[in-house]
C-alpha cells in the first residue's frame, strides 16, 4: 500500500460503475439500485475511501454538472483550462458541460440563462465583453455559484485573473533593450481586462524609459485570428513597418504568422516576434517563439477549486479573486537592432 488516499475514481473502477454513481451512492443513496449500492459500499470499505468533506457538505448539488462557457472553442487556452478544471471536478463526482458562444453577447446571455435554470449546479465562464448590458445583467442575476475567467466585473462573483500587464511590460522592455523602438502590439479591445492590461504594460515599458510610444503601432480590438492577420498585414506593408511585434493572444498569433508567411518576412531577421501562451504552434514555426507565459492548467484547477468551495461553503462568503503572474520566456524569435 502506498498510503495515498483512495479517490472516487478508484472506487468507481473497483465497483465497475461510473464516478457519478459513486457520488450518488454517497449523497443520494435512495436514487441508486440496492445491488449497485451494495457494490459501491463494498468497494469503499475495501479501499478505505474517505469522502471529501466539501463534497459531503454540498448543499446545492442537484445535477452533478458544471457549465463551462467560453467564447472561442478553437482557443488552446480554453482547451487546457477545461481539461484541468474537469480533472479537478471529476474527482468530486461532477461533470463539465462545455458551451461555446463564438464571442457573441446574445449567445452568452442565452447560455447563462439556459444553464443556470436547473441544468447545472455552477458555472465557470468567460464573457466576450465586460460592457454588454444584457450579459452583465445576467451575470449580476446569477442563481448558481460561478467563477469568471480573466474578466473584471464590479460584481460579487469569484474570479481567476491573469496579471497580463507585467508580462507585456517585460516583453516590451526586452525589445527596447535590444534597440527596438518601432514595437507594434496587436491585442484585444478595451472592453475586456486582457486588452486593457496588456496595453497598460506596453505603455508602462516606454514610460519607465522616458520614451514616447510609437504612433500607429497599437492595434487593440479583437483576439480573433482574422484581426491578427489583417492588422499584421497592414503593419508589415506600411511605409514604416515595425521592427518588432507582440502578438498578444494565441489566436492573434495564428493570423500574424499567416501574414508573415504571405509577405515573406524573416523571423527574427526582418521582424522580432513575441507571443502569448505556449502551444504547439509556438514550438514549431518559427519556433521556439519568445513567449509571455502563465500556468494555464493551474488556472483551470483554481477555478474548479473556487467553485467547489463556493458550493460547499457559506452562501454569503465575500467574492474571491485569484491572480496568476505572467513571465517572459526567451526563444529564438527576437534579435537586436544592428
Cβ atoms of 101 and 124 closer than 8 Å:
no
Q: Are residues 290 and 300 in the same domain?
A: no
Report residue 269: phi and psi, to 5°: -60, -50
Q: Are residues 267 and 306 in the same domain?
A: no
pTM of this structure:
0.81
Cβ atoms of 170 and 204 closer than 8 Å:
no
Q: What is the pLDDT of residue 292?
A: 97
In a domain, 336, yes or no: no
Q: Which residue has the cell 442563481?
A: 143
pLDDT, one tens digit per residue, over 30-50 is: 778 889 999 999 999 898 887
Q: Are residues 129 and 240 in the same domain?
A: no
Q: Are residues 269 and 308 in the same domain?
A: no
In a domain, 233, yes or no: yes
For strands 321-324 and 158-162, give the pairing. Answer: parallel
Cα three-residue angle 312-320-149, rounded to 5 degrees: 95
Q: What is the pLDDT of residue 61?
A: 52
Q: What is the pLDDT of residue 103?
A: 81
Cβ atoms of 324 and 299 closer than 8 Å:
yes
Residues 6+ apart with CB under 8 A from 22: 8, 11, 12, 15, 40, 93
Q: Are residues 33 and 17 in the same domain?
A: yes
In a domain, 3, yes or no: no
Q: Are residues 289 and 306 in the same domain?
A: no
Q: What is the pLDDT of residue 59?
A: 46
In a domain, 216, yes or no: yes
Average pLDDT for residues 156-183, to the nearest whole number? Answer: 97
Residues 6+ apart with CB under 8 A from 128: 71, 101, 103, 104, 105, 108, 135, 192
Cell numbers describing residue 311:
458550493
Average pLDDT for residues 273-295, to the nearest whole number? Answer: 89
Does residue 316 have a pLDDT over 80?
no
Q: What average pLDDT is seen over the chain?
A: 90
In a domain, 231, yes or no: yes
Does residue 58 have a pLDDT over 80?
no
Q: Are residues 263 and 182 in the same domain?
A: yes
Nearest Cα to 181, choosing from 209, 139, 145, 150?
Answer: 209
Q: Are residues 30 and 144 in the same domain?
A: no
pLDDT, one tens digit per residue, over 79-124 is: 999 999 999 999 888 999 999 998 887 888 888 888 887 789 999 9
Q: Are residues 139 and 228 in the same domain?
A: no
CATH of the domain at 248: 3.40.50.2300
Q: What is the pLDDT of residue 286?
A: 72
Q: Are residues 290 and 301 in the same domain?
A: no
User: pLDDT-based confidence at 139, cuts 50/70/90?
Assistant: confident
Cβ atoms of 303 and 149 closer than 8 Å:
yes
Q: Are residues 282 and 168 in the same domain?
A: yes
Cell numbers describing residue 14:
473497483
In a domain, 329, yes or no: no
What DSSP string runs through 123-177? EEE--S-SS-HHHHHHHHT--S-EEEES---SSS-EEEEE-HHHHHHHHHHHHHH
Min mean pLDDT across 59-68, 82-91, 148-157, 296-305 is at 59-68
Domain region containing 25:
8-51
Q: How many separate domains does the chain show?
A: 3
User: pLDDT-based confidence at 22, cuts 50/70/90?
Assistant: confident
Q: Are residues 180 and 288 in the same domain?
A: yes
In a domain, 56, yes or no: no
Sheet holding 321-324, edge to edge: 95-100, 65-70, 122-125, 146-149, 158-162, 321-324
Distances (CA, A) of 273 to 116, 144, 256: 42, 42, 10
In a domain, 333, yes or no: no
Does residue 67 have a pLDDT over 80?
yes
- Alpha carbon distance 305, 300 (integer Å): 9
Does residue 322 have a pLDDT over 90?
yes
Amino acid at each position: 500500500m502506498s498510503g495515498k488516499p483512495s479517490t472516487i475514481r478508484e472506487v468507481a473502477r473497483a465497483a465497475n460503475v461510473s464516478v457519478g454513481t459513486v457520488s450518488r451512492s454517497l449523497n443520494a443513496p435512495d436514487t441508486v439500485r440496492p445491488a449497485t449500492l451494495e457494490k459501491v459500499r463494498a468497494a469503499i470499505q475495501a479501499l478505505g475511501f474517505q469522502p471529501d468533506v466539501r463534497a459531503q457538505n454540498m448543499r446545492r448539488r442537484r445535477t452533478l454538472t458544471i457549465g463551462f462557457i467560453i467564447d472561442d472553442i478553437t482557443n488552446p487556452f480554453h482547451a487546457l483550462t477545461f481539461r484541468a478544471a474537469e480533472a479537478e471536478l471529476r474527482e468530486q463526482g461532477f461533470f463539465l458541460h462545455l458551451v461555446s458562444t463564438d464571442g457573441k453577447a446574445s449567445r452568452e446571455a442565452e447560455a447563462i440563462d439556459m444553464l443556470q435554470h436547473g441544468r447545472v449546479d455552477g458555472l465557470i465562464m468567460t464573457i466576450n465583453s465586460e460592457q454588454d448590458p444584457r450579459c452583465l445583467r445576467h451575470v449580476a442575476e446569477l442563481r448558481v455559484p460561478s467563477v469568471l475567467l480573466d474578466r473584471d466585473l464590479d460584481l460579487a462573483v469569484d474570479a481567476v485573473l491573469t496579471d497580463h500587464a507585467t508580462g507585456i511590460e517585460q516583453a516590451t522592455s526586452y525589445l527596447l533593450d535590444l534597440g527596438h523602438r518601432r514595437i507594434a502590439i496587436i491585442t484585444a479591445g478595451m472592453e475586456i481586462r486582457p486588452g486593457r492590461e496588456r496595453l497598460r504594460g506596453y505603455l508602462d515599458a516606454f514610460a519607465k524609459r522616458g520614451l514616447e510610444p510609437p504612433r500607429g503601432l497599437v492595434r487593440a480590438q479583437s483576439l480573433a485570428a482574422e484581426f491578427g492577420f489583417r492588422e499584421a498585414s497592414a503593419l508589415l506593408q506600411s511605409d514604416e513597418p515595425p521592427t518588432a511585434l507582440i502578438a498578444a493572444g494565441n489566436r492573434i498569433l495564428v493570423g500574424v504568422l499567416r501574414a508573415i508567411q504571405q509577405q515573406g518576412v524573416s523571423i527574427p531577421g526582418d521582424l522580432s516576434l513575441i507571443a502569448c501562451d505556449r502551444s504547439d504552434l509556438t514550438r514549431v514555426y518559427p519556433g521556439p517563439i519568445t513567449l509571455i507565459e502563465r500556468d494555464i492548467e493551474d488556472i483551470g484547477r483554481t477555478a474548479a477549486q473556487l467553485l467547489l468551495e463556493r458550493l460547499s461553503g457559506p452562501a454569503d462568503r465575500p467574492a474571491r479573486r485569484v491572480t496568476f503572474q505572467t513571465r517572459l520566456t526567451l526563444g529564438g524569435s527576437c534579435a537586436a537592432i544592428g
